Amino acid sequence: MADIWVLRLGHRPERDKRISTHVALTARAFGAKGIIVSTKDEGLEESVKDVADRFGGEFTISTGVSWRPYLRDFKQRGRIAHLTMYGMPVDEVSKDVPLDKDLLIVVGAEKVPPEVYQAADFNICVGNQPHSEVAALAILLDRLTQGSWVGKEFKGGTIKVLPCERGKHVINPTE
Whether residue 123 has pLDDT greater than 80:
yes
CA distances from 115 to 87, 112, 123 (A): 14, 8, 12
22-47 residues labelled b (16+ CB within 10 A) or e (exposed): bbbbbbbbbbbbbbbbbbebeebbeb
Nearest of 82, 83, 148 to residue 120 by alpha carbon:
82
Band (94; pLDDT cuts 50, 70, 90):
very high
How many CB atoms are closer than 10 A to CB 65?
15
SS (H, E, C) 45-76: HHHHHHHHHHHCCCCEEEECCCHHHHHHHHHH
Band (175; pLDDT cuts 50, 70, 90):
low
- The string of pLDDT tens digits covering residues 61-75 is 999 999 999 999 999
Taking the C-alpha atoms of residue 11 and residue 149, their distance in angstroms, rounded to an integer, is: 26
What's the confidence (pLDDT) of residue 78? 96
Nearest of 24, 5, 13 to residue 133 by alpha carbon:
24
Residues 139 and 40 sit within 8 Å (Cβ to Cβ)? no
What's the confidence (pLDDT) of residue 112? 92
pTM equals 0.93
What is the CATH class of 4-171? alpha beta
